[in-house]
Structure 1
């Protein structure tokens, strides 16, 4: 069913109406694999169909959606909530007052101190919102209003010159880190086995921390002298990675002997619930610092960059890097070509 762009002679009510419908659309399309309360989520979806009386009540509900397990909804909701207040202060009386120029002003004023990644998320949210309205609005006479928002000329991003190369461990540092994993004094044997297992899994396969903490026991499949691990990446996209059995055999055996995780998860805390990404990152940082390894970013995601960098240096196969990391665009994988010393050394022979 389609609706008029403006109604009730109230910009605030109209914007809130479209925002409710848009976030409902995103919730139903985002991955629900980690949802902890499906009944409540279904109820919220129906509440969004009915609509909310205020942006404050919608904000509370969006926080609840995140807590239930749709974590990425804030990427779409937060920029649009800020746009609501921006247009309210602007004194808007109609949705038709929003155009490309106003959105560029909004981005310039609201994202000046934010990272390029967050700025891109704001742009994605705006494009998604107004693209949704373009498809869903229709007047009684059958005509529809088209925003056609593109934001191609918005200059808020630093561009490639403003991006940083990711931190990673070189070959000698990796060897030092692997030894540190084995020697680190964990609280007890069980915690040690679990922590060594998850850190090695991330380091030797390059999977994301978020992917590692949601692995199920059935996703670890023995195949000869290796384990095939089924993971779900961004957008709930499936892929498989491999790790040699000898690397994790002892830790895996020790952990499985006492593992009692909810929902058949492979990794969990002492209460049986899912580990957090922040816990794994703090753990990796503690181990790195214990042997004097300091990087600009010492968190667990740095292990993924390390895997990808060494994989490209040893294979010179960008497609392999792309498939191993689960990148949808090969250009995302090209960052790791910057660390290829064998190629860079050729430049020293030019003169």
Structure 2
């Protein structure tokens, strides 16, 4: 990806000018694999690692971009589980790193180099700093539009919601999703997933006593 005119400029228009506000859609499994295929075809090693970590970690963008190398690796290998302290809640949240993500994160970190206390995804402007949330949002927009999705319907929260939505759909376990998202209240999880009366009734109808 080439340099953007916005890089290093703090005086551009507001981030939401011309954008559709509201909940962003999670990605479906076939869309996840479409993004992975596109990034692999374009040899975008960093973006593939960032995308996979975003899906597995379920982190907010502000937390994802601040992940450090030592959060992800131990003994020269990518961790199976990791933990970070959330900026919003100041509480730790754990997440899994599955094989597809480990397989893409390791080659990126090997190419990236650096010390364990450095950011896993550095800024292109200042390698001692992390990728900005604005740049991360632009990357997500590239990824989704690259596979033919409408940019208005997707954003960084789409990646945070994707695995949580799949887990809820498969299990109906809101408490588990609450823990994975690091929400302090179950009501926040209900709102975040868009759980409504139809979901509740569908779960009730599928449960015989």
TM normalised by structure 2 equals 0.71
Query: 2 CA distance for matches of 1:342 and 1:203?
Result: 28
List gaps (5 residues or longer) in structure 1: 1-66, 68-162
Cα 1:209/1:165, change in 2 over 3 Å: closer
Whether 1:284 aligns to 2:140 is: yes
What residue is the counterpart of 1:315 in the other structure?
A: 171
Q: Distance in 2 between matches of 1:308 and 1:322?
A: 9
Within a 5 Å distance, the mapping from 1:1-351 to structure 2 comes to: 165-183=23-41, 185=42, 192-221=44-73, 227-233=80-86, 234-260=88-114, 264-270=118-124, 271-272=126-127, 273-294=129-150, 296-335=152-191, 336=193, 337-338=195-196, 340=199, 343=202
| Structure 1: distance between partners of 2:179 and 2:200 | 22
Mapped to 2, the partners of 1:340 and 1:226 lie a distance apart of: 35
- Shift of residue 167, structure 1, vs aligned partner: 2.0
- Distance in 2, matches of 1:261 and 1:293, equals 37
> Pairwise CA RMSD of aligned residues?
3.3
In the superposition, relative to structure 1, how do residues 262 and 269 fare at CA in structure 2: closer, same or farther (>3 Å)? farther
Seen in structure 2, the aligned counterparts of structure 1 residues 254 and 175 have a Cα distance that, compared at 3 Å, is closer
Q: Which of structures 1 and 2 has the larger relative contact order (alpha carbons within 8 angstroms, sep 6+)?
A: 2
- 1:286 counterpart SS class: helix
- Whole-Å Cα distance in 2 between the matches of residues 310 and 175 of structure 1? 15
In 1, the alpha carbon distance for the partners of 2:182 and 2:104 equals 28
Give the drift of 1:258.
3.0
Q: Which runs of 5+ in 2 are unaligned?
A: 1-9, 11-20
CA distance in 1, matches of 2:70, 2:79: 15
CA distance in structure 2 between the aligned counterparts of 1:324 and 1:220, rounded to whole angstroms: 17
How far did residue 311 of structure 1 move? 1.5
Give the number of the structure whose alpha-carbon radius of gyration is greater.
Answer: 1
Tell me how many residue pairs correspond in the alignment: 180
What secondary structure, in the 3-state scheme, does the structure 2 residue paired with 1:264 have? coil
Answer whether contact 1:259 1:266 (CA < 8 A) is retained: no
Please give the secondary structure, in 2, of the residue aligned with 1:328: coil
Distance in 2 of aligned mates of 1:177 and 1:246: 13
What is the CA–CA distance in structure 2 between the aligned matches of 1:246 and 1:262, rounded to whole Å? 22
Secondary structure of the corresponding residue to residue 279 of structure 1: helix
Q: CA deviation at 1:165?
A: 4.8
Larger helix proportion, structure 1 or 2?
A: 1
Deviations 1:132-175 (A, max 9, x none): xxxxxxxxxxxxxxxxxxxxxxxxxxxxxxx9554222333333
Shift of 1:328: 0.6
